[in-house]
Structure 1
């Protein structure tokens, strides 16, 4: 029988890891338990993080919001600080899985899974999120774009855990958008997703833009060229069509069971075009 450990403090966690070096860590387990059931992994022991109060909660400072890695997706969806400061993240949480998945899954797990289809990842990229990495001996932070370094690959070192997500308080941008396309309308894994953050003038001129796409590469894709092309122009279908052509030329998606590469390339541009209908000043 496989043992499962439930430490109550970080001190207990470090001790438990030292005594069980082959154990896998989990919080909600929404991906881990599926992989175990299918036989993809067979760890000798498990360490559950869900009782670690030190890895939960949302805290605010004048310049940033610190989110514990074991905060559930449902907790974040309903949290007033997240709703106030990060609407684009809320929009992604609203379409992530089912209510039951959101009650179990955590923000840290969604990041550490490092799937290009992770719904929170494009918003976290454009929000310039950083991750806090902790071990028994060290503490460091990395921008999320550096932490995720490949398909299901991160820069998490042996002995480290992702302890928190740090979200800087950005200026009050007036356009926040997230959309994903899947094989069905709900409970769908993304074929393509896109997050957009913009500041629009009263005349509809784009003064600032951040864009990120999921599921069209091994990691989230951003395009400085697309963002710079949009700035100073009116948010119109013509402007967006030019940017859409640019991003379609830049990406190199793959064929898989959910979609062909050509379809993904088309959709990543079409999601940009849809922004013209979403802008309401």
Structure 2
């Protein structure tokens, strides 16, 4: 039988990790416990993080918002600070599972699962999210786009945990958009998703355009070519169609039980066409 440990402080966590180096960490457990029941993992112990206060909650540090890794998704969806400064993230988190899942799932779990379809990953990428990683020897900060190294893999080192996500509020990105296509409206894993942020000027042109696609590659896909096409211009139908064509060439989706690669590629481009509503 696999033992379950519930440390109440970081010091207790480090001791637990030292005693059980082959253990698995969890918070909500909405992904890990499914894998455990299916037999795809068999850790020596399970270590729950939800009772460690240093890893929970949302706090303000100057112009930054710091989100504890084990903060439940439902808490973040209802947080006015997140909805006001980062509506693209709030919208994405609101598409995770259903209410019961969002009450259990955490933003740190969604990140560390490192699924190409992770709903929080595209918005965190366009917001230049920074992850705070802690270990007994100290802490380090890693950009979200460097954290995930492939499907299901991250740069976390042995004995290290994701403690928090840091986002800057003074970004000037007054246009933010997230959309996800799945097989149904709720409880759906993304077939393709898109997060976009930009700064719109009074003349209708958009600048600092950032786009990130989910579920169309082994990691989150960003396209400097698409950014260059859109930045500095009005979002006309002709311009969006050109950008959509580039996006379809740059994504690298796969066939699976949810959709074909060709369908995903088409949807990745079509999601850009929705930005016509920004005109």
TM-score if structure 1 supplies the norm length?
Answer: 0.96
Three-state SS of the structure 2 residue aligned to 1:17 is helix
Q: Aligned ranges for residues 87-98 of structure 1 at < 5 Å?
A: 87-98=87-98
1:47-100 CA deviation, whole Å, 9 max, x = no partner? 110101110111112231111111110111111221121110001011111111
Asked if 1:21 corresponds to 2:21, the answer is: yes
Distance 1:153 1:85 in 2: 29
Q: Which residue of 2 aligns with 1:126?
A: 126
Q: CA deviation at 1:204?
A: 2.2
Q: Which residue of 2 aligns with 1:2?
A: 2
Q: Aligned ranges for residues 131-150 of structure 1 at < 5 Å?
A: 131-150=131-150
Distance 1:154 1:200 in 2: 34
Unaligned runs of 5+ in 1: none
Distance 1:139 1:199 in 2: 33
Q: Aligned ranges for residues 239-254 of structure 1 at < 5 Å?
A: 239-254=239-254
Q: Aligned ranges for residues 50-129 of structure 1 at < 5 Å?
A: 50-129=50-129
| Contact kept in structure 2, 1:127 and 1:170, CA below 8 Å | no
Distance 2:224 2:29 in 1: 35
Q: CA deviation at 1:179?
A: 0.3
Q: Which residue of 2 aligns with 1:221?
A: 221
Q: Which residue of 2 aligns with 1:39?
A: 39
Distance 1:58 1:218 in 2: 30
Distance 2:147 2:89 in 1: 19
Three-state SS of the structure 1 residue aligned to 2:97 is coil
Distance 1:252 1:22 in 2: 34
More deviation in 194-203 or 121-130? 194-203
Three-state SS of the structure 2 residue aligned to 1:274 is helix
Q: Which residue of 2 aligns with 1:267?
A: 267
Q: Aligned ranges for residues 187-202 of structure 1 at < 5 Å?
A: 187-202=187-202
Distance 2:79 2:200 in 1: 26
Q: Which residue of 2 aligns with 1:48?
A: 48
Distance 2:154 2:46 in 1: 20
Q: Aligned ranges for residues 128-207 of structure 1 at < 5 Å?
A: 128-207=128-207
Root-mean-square deviation (CA, aligned residues, Å) is 1.1
Q: CA deviation at 1:29?
A: 0.2
Q: CA deviation at 1:41?
A: 1.2
